[in-house]
Amino acid sequence: MDYKLKTPFTREDLKDLKAGDNVYITGYMYTARDAAHKRLVELIEQDKELPIDVKGACIYYVGPTPAKEGQALGSAGPTTSYRMDAYSPQLLDLGLMGMVGKGKRGPEVIEKIVEHGAVYFAAIGGAAALISKSIKTAEIVAYEDLGAEAIRKIYVEDFPATVVIDSKGNNLYEIGREEYLNGSNK
C-alpha cells in the first residue's frame, strides 16, 4: 500500500502502516546522526531541556553534503541506523514517533517501537541526489559545531520512504526476504 503522511505523527496516524508499505511524508522533520543523538541523550540523563521538541517528531538519520546555490540541502540519503540504537529508546520514551534511516535495528529499539506505536522507515541508501529533491527548506537548530552532523529542521514534501518496522514490530528485512525466497509475488 502507498500512504501519504503528515508530521508530526500520532499513534493513530501510524497504526495501520504495515512493514513494506511505501509512504510519502510531508511536513517538518529533524536531521540527526550519532554525535547529535549522543548530546540529546546526555541532556535527557541530566534532566535538561532538549533543543528540539521530540513529541510526535520524525528524525531523519542523515549528514548531508553542503548545499549548492538553489538547494535547501545538498545530497541527503540515509545513514546506517544501528549506530543510533544506543540512543533511540530514550527518545522514543519522550514521544519520538518516526525514525528514517537504513539497515537493521536492535531488539531494544524494536521493543520501544511497539510499546509506543512508533514506526521505523527506510529511505533508499545511496539515492541521496534523488531524495534531496523532496527537501524544500533546512535550518540548523542545534549543534552547529558538528557541521554535517548538526541538527537541522527540514521541511519535506512527499519524502519517499518504506515502512521497515511497523508499530506491531513486523520487520520488512525478515518478511521481504522470506516472501522472495518463498517465491510469492507481491
Clarify whether 116 is annotated catalytic: no
Q: Is 56 in the site for another protein (CB under 8 A)?
A: no
Q: What share of the chain is helix, strand, coil (3-state, %, to 5)?
A: 30, 30, 40
Q: Work out whether 63 is an interface residue with another protein (CB under 8 A).
A: yes
The only residue of 51, 94, 125, 143 in contact with another protein, by rule CB under 8 A = 125
Binding-residue total with another protein (CB under 8 A)? 45
178 forms part of the interface with another protein (CB under 8 A): yes
d(CA 163, CA 154): 20
For residue 66, state whether it binds another protein (rule: CB under 8 A): yes
Stretches 10-18, 47-55, 112-120, 142-150: which one binds another protein (CB under 8 A)? 142-150
Q: Could you say which DSSP state residue 123 is in?
A: -
DSSP 8-class letter at 171: B
Which residue do the cell numbers 517538518 mark?
28
Distance in angstroms (rounded) separating the CA atoms of residues 92 and 11: 12
The Cα 33–Cα 86 span in angstroms is: 12
Nearer to another protein, 7 or 79 (CB): 79
Binding site for another protein (CB under 8 A): 20, 35, 62-68, 71, 74-77, 79-80, 82, 102-104, 122, 124-130, 132-133, 146-148, 162, 172-173, 175-181, 185-186
